A and B are shown apart, each in its own frame.
Chain A
Amino acid sequence: QKEVEQNSGPLSVPEGAIASLNCTYSDRGSQSFFWYRQYSGKSPELIMSIYSNGDKEDGRFTAQLNKASQYVSLLIRDSQPSDSATYLCAVNWGSGGSNYKLTFGKGTLLTVNP
């Protein structure tokens, strides 16, 4: 059973703070990792993808990957109330270059307080 675990939350941070979201996965063979954001009542949307060990930055978002520890995280700097949402970690289990089968974690609810 391939598993993706996330902090269940909810996570509450003040506006302007750094929000840290964590995810672990069970299969060492996984090669690609994603963070999706889902606002209440809406569909998930991709905010970050990461494929190599280390950090990947995009604006206020930084994804961190450590394959040896089977750990991926998302940092949100200067958190805004508009960042309040559920964040879903997703891991690709598929074999081959195009056979993507994503398994999602249960999500972490983030609330940013003004």
Chain B
Amino acid sequence: DADVTQTPRNRITKTGKRIMLECSQTKGHDRMYWYRQDPGLGLQLIYYSFDVKDINKGEISDGYSVSRQAQAKFSLSLESAIPNQTALYFCATGGGGGRNTGELFFGEGSRLTVL
């Protein structure tokens, strides 16, 4: 089983619908991140969390919200999806237990298409 699991892996939805992408990890990491990847634009940070009570906006947080339900779970929500939110979304984890190396471990990605 993957250490960082994202669900769903693929989702097609319509404009205006609410969508939640979920991420869970078994690595025991404190830090969790949501990134968005668009062709030619690299990875852009949406939100990040350094522990359960810590939520921070990234570079492109408008139109998104997150919830850190537990150390191991970090969800990304699109309250009212729009077509330009069509992208590949990655959850990543890192750090914890003195292992603050900066290395991030990525989930397999969730491909979202908004029609």
Contact = CB atoms under 8 A, between A and B. Distances in A.
Interface of A: 32, 34, 42-46, 49, 88, 90, 92, 97-107
Contacts of A42: 108
23 contacts: A34-B102, A34-B103, A42-B108, A43-B108, A44-B43, A44-B90, A44-B106, A49-B101, A88-B42, A88-B43, A90-B104, A98-B30, A98-B95, A99-B50, A100-B31, A100-B94, A100-B100, A101-B45, A101-B48, A102-B104, A104-B43, A104-B44, A106-B40
B94 to A, nearest CB: 6
Contacts of B40: 106
B42 A105 contact: yes
Given A88-B42, A101-B45, A104-B42, A49 B50 contact: no
Interface string B77-115: 000000000000010001100001111101111000000
Contact of A100 (B44, B102, B109): B102
Contact of A49 (B45, B59, B103): B103
A97 B30 CA distance: 14
Contacts of B12: none
B42 A98 contact: no
